[in-house]
A and B are shown apart, each in its own frame.
Chain A
Amino acid sequence: MTWLFFQAVVSGLLLGGVYGLVASGLSLIFGVLRIINFAHGAVMMLGMYASYWLFVLLGVDPYLSILLTGPLFFGIGVLIQRLVIEPNRAAAEHNQLLITLGLALFFENLALVLWQGDFRTLRVSYSGASFMLGDVLVEVPRLIAAGGALLIALALWAFLRWTDAGKAIRALSEEQEGARLVGIDVARMRGAAFGIGSACVAVAGALVTPFFYIAPDVGESFNIMAFVVVVLGGMGNFLGALLGGFIVGLAESLGAAFLPGSLKQLVVFALFVIVLLLRPQGLFGARGGR
């Protein structure tokens, strides 16, 4: 059954790339703002609808739509941070957590009102494209999504590493007070971090629309996985999130291939609990844009 193994590995890696990008955004937001953003999946859902409507109404290819939805959701993220998160920064942490949970519920119900609960699927000419690598099936849209996610995450990593703004964001996630003392516009950088995180997840949403489906609660499946990935990779560790994405993707896929029933989810969540117990800082260490 070697082909089954290789098939599972390939599928797991392709899925893992998307998990990685979703989780990178979540990790960045956590690193800088120190809040777990429960609305992350809901923002992904909005990103998917944005790509869907751009395609249906204006004929914009979902991959090209990234050029529009990326900046748009950066703006939306900044706005959310300014209007909702920032005013409550002084509040207790669990309150901030509840605020993001409230946002998630708000977005989901907004989507229900605007577009009803029915599922939508977006068919593009290449939706069905695939090729065989030996005996192993590779679906082109999933390959593009994983590759695109990896590229964007790496570009973001480079941005955090080598640009002034990126360094400022990293400084902020390392040491808030220190960052303020050296003259970094802390409030602005927090907004930027939330914006970048939101743009990441919206873009991930656009990347999956050609092979996925769209519904108001679609973000939830990615949301939970993203939490697992972030914990696995280390809270706030950007590259750790990317690697964690691949690990979770692989665990899910291999679990599905070789374990009976629907145990694959169990594998992932068992991994989650074990890492929290034995290595709470994550497999790759917490914090920073390292």
Chain B
Amino acid sequence: MSDSTLKPIDRRRFLETMGAAGAVTLAAPAFGRAQVREVKVGYILPVTGPLAFEAQLALNGIQQAVDEINGAGGIKSLGGARITLLPGDTQNKVELGNSEAARLIDQGVTAIIGPFSSLVAFSVRQVTEKNKTPFLLLATVADNVLEGGLRYTFRMQPNARAMATLTVGNMIEMAKAAGTPIKRVAIMHEDGNFGTTMGNHVEAFAGKMGYELVQRVPYNLRSPDFTAELSKVKAARPDLLLISGYYGDSKIIAETAGKLRIGVHALVGLANAAYSNPRFIAENRELTDHLFDGNYWHNPQSPRARAVFEAYQKRFSSVMSNHGVQGYQVTFVLKDALERAASTDREKVRDAISKTNLTDHILTQDAIRFDEAGENVNATPALLQVQGAKPVVVGPARFVEAKPVFPVPKWKG
């Protein structure tokens, strides 16, 4: 009985280690040298299942950071203790997230990184709070994940509110500088939790920023055709079309908008899964040219970010994605806290994280600092535009690496 229930888990874990071979090779030598103190860090990511591809990109970033830390002599305040990464697979399922988090806590991890989904985070945070274990969120945007007086949960990345309002704000500022101010805005968003939240922020933000929201179109993610929706948008004559969606839907929308001669100054993704995705750009060169996207990104002005990128490229033979950047940086937030805590005690590490003031990072923001709720107060998405088949930072002004092409000629009616 117990045998038959264990087997599928073993198989799953086997698959997962095939995908994440690095995790095992990292863990193995650490077990061999028990006399060296180690810091156990757990991750819970959907490394199998529908989000496997993206989760792997984040995991690559985490592994690169761990190797860099261990290679440079581990955690110095702990006598060179090395970080050991313990894997957890959620398959993007709530119940697996909980059980994997509980298992990792059982195995003595100092902190947990994950879980790549707001829904899973909502549930896992109860496990980590109850067990007083620091939980560093990764790829979790829902605004209310940190609500409810949490003590051990922290979010480095911009939440939905920051993502929506700062992206639109950056866009409006950039348009003003380019001499083509934006007055009329339309948004198409998928009708799930993510898209609806973004839509709500864009609607609420209209009064403050002085634009008019002329059309708001929620849509079903799986719909095979958006011609009618986009025709409706076109009829409202917006200056700007914002799109908050996932991969396939965003692709079809961009394509149809172009053919319809939608007549906007720019098409802008809000934390869009496709528009700054290197793979999407590589597969759709012409279509993606000059698309904007507000997303988390690295700071192109930072020499360290460039070095990290080169190392990633060499090791994984692909461009470091925004998820890779987040995985990498969140690991260094933990490393910084461990150095200051000089302890693997969860409570002490939690206190150290809450006092973070990290300026040596690779993100497009000022120092990483957390407020009472655990939000990174300076979290800022970059405004990106696809130029020459790669996303370049065109805002905020202090991080810019290229001049924006705006208004974009190809969307003109």
Interface residues, chain A, CB within 8 Å of chain B?
1, 3-4, 7-8, 11-12, 14-15, 18, 112-113, 116-121, 123, 127-128, 130, 137, 139, 142, 208, 211-213, 215-218, 220-222, 252-257, 261-262, 264-265
Contact = CB atoms under 8 A, between A and B. Distances in A.
B25 interface: no
B287 A128 contact: yes
Nearest to A116: B53
B338 to A, nearest CB: 33
B260 A11 contact: no
Contact of A4 (B53, B231, B256): B231
Contacts of B191: 261-262
Interface of B: 15, 48-54, 191, 217-220, 222-229, 231-232, 235, 247-248, 251-252, 255-256, 258-260, 274, 279-280, 283-284, 286-287
Contacts of B224: 15, 18, 208, 212, 221-222
B235 A4 contact: yes
Contacts of B50: 112, 117, 215-217
Nearest to A19: B224
Contact of B225 (A3, A15, A113, A261): A15
Contacts of B231: 3-4, 7-8, 257
B280 A130 contact: no
B280 A121 contact: yes
A256 B259 contact: no
B252 A212 contact: yes
| Chain B binding surface SS class | helix
A211 B283 contact: no
Given A253-B225, A262-B218, 9 more contacts: A7-B227, A113-B15, A117-B53, A118-B54, A128-B259, A215-B50, A216-B50, A252-B223, A254-B228
A1 B235 contact: yes
A253 B248 contact: no
7 contacts: A18-B224, A113-B15, A119-B251, A123-B283, A217-B50, A252-B225, A256-B219
A254 B48 CA distance: 39
Given A112-B49, A262-B220, A7 B228 contact: yes
A118 B273 CA distance: 11
A212 B280 CA distance: 13
A290 to B, nearest CB: 28
B49 A211 contact: no
Contact of A118 (B53, B219, B220, B235): B53
Given A112-B52, A253-B227, A128 B258 contact: yes
Contacts of A117: 49-53
Nearest to B287: A128
A11 B52 contact: no
A265 B220 contact: yes
Contacts of A113: 15
Contacts of A118: 53-54, 279
A261 B53 CA distance: 31
Contacts of B51: 117
Contacts of B222: 220-221
B52 A211 contact: no
A279 B401 CA distance: 63
B260 A137 contact: yes
Contacts of A8: 227-228, 231
A113 B255 CA distance: 29
A123 to B, nearest CB: 6
A1 B51 CA distance: 41
A113 B227 CA distance: 33
A140 B366 CA distance: 48
Nearest to A18: B224
Contacts of A216: 50
B248 A137 contact: no
B229 A256 contact: yes
Most chain-B CB neighbours within 10 Å: which of A208, A216, A262? A262
A4 B234 CA distance: 9
A223 to B, nearest CB: 10
Contacts of B217: 261
A253 B219 CA distance: 12
A214 to B, nearest CB: 9
A240 B276 CA distance: 43
B255 A128 contact: yes
Contacts of A254: 228
A135 to B, nearest CB: 10
Nearest to A263: B218
B259 A11 contact: no
A116 B227 CA distance: 29
A262 B258 CA distance: 22
B225 A11 contact: yes
Nearest to A12: B228
B218 A215 contact: no
User: Which 10 A-B pairs give the minimum distances between C-beta atoms?
Assistant: A221-B222, A118-B53, A256-B228, A11-B227, A213-B248, A257-B228, A119-B247, A117-B50, A130-B259, A262-B191
A264 B220 contact: yes
Contacts of B251: 119, 121, 213
B284 A119 contact: no
A119 B255 CA distance: 16
Contacts of A137: 227, 259-260
B322 to A, nearest CB: 15
B244 to A, nearest CB: 13
B197 to A, nearest CB: 15
A12 B235 CA distance: 18
A117 B50 CA distance: 5
Nearest to B249: A213
Contacts of A253: 225, 227-228
Given A120-B283, A213-B251, A221 B223 contact: yes
Nearest to B274: A119
B217 to A, nearest CB: 8
